[in-house]
Amino acid sequence: MNVLALDGALGAFSAAVARDEQIAVARAEAGNVALERGLAIADEVLARAGLRPDRIDRLAVGIGPGGFTGLRIAIAYAKSLAAVWQRPLVAIDSFDLLEYGGGFERVLAVVVGRPGVISARYRSATEMRRASGWTEEVLDAVLPSGGGELEVVGAPKDVLHALAERAIIVRSAQPVVTPAAAAAALAASSREPARSVHEVRADYGELPAAKSPRF
């Protein structure tokens, strides 16, 4: 199976091609490049993989939470390509992309928003909770009581410090598969595609802060 995946939520715009559950090509470019360079990056990974669009079996896209602009542009590209090429589209959330390949048993995955704001998901063998908002409020909402040891992926230093203050023994980890589009490409082969591209929607976590217009 050949999969083309895109992601714009996790700090960079990335594209990857997986062939038979192995990454053939992956590329990521940091900064606000999704609008100007996103399709060119997708074209580049296809060319480097030696694949034409008619050889792609399905597409995948990261649906967030994450950066507002890159996220919505990546989803727009993926939905457009899926519609034009008439290929199924698989939607994968940012938490699953961060955790992919890690084999975590008890983990907190963190996506950074604007300063002081995060989206986080706690997952264990028996429960799963997620929340978005101010860091302390999110940790209150998702963490189990009693402290203990916890694997944490994607968290910046301020979140790690906040966890330490709660008597939690943190084992900080980095995503095993990068860039994010590579994780999406690998995960997509075993997931059910959306019934329609219209089902695929962005999960922004918390919308960006808005400024009141001046009159």
The arithmetic mean of pLDDT across residues 102-108, rounded, is: 95
Assign 32 a pLDDT band (cuts: 50, 70, 90).
confident
Q: Residue 40: which residues within 8 A CB-CB, separation 6 or more?
A: none
Evaluate if residue 55 carries a pLDDT over 90: yes
C-alpha angle 110-31-182 in degrees, rounded to nearest 5 = 60
The CATH code for residues 103-173 is: 3.30.420.40
Residue 208 has what pLDDT?
Answer: 54
Place 209 in a pLDDT band, splitting at 50, 70 and 90: low
Mean pLDDT, residues 189-210 taken together: 86
pLDDT of residue 144: 87
* Topology agreement, domain 2-94+176-199 and domain 103-173: yes
The tokens describing 103, both together, are 């084999």
Quote the CATH superfamily of domain 2-94+176-199: ATPase, nucleotide binding domain (3.30.420.40)
* Residues 109-161 pLDDT 10s: 999 988 899 999 999 999 999 999 999 999 999 998 877 889 999 999 999 99
pLDDT at 210 over 50: no
Q: Tell me the C-alpha distance between 158 and 143, whole Å.
A: 16
Domain boundaries, the chain: 2-94+176-199, 103-173
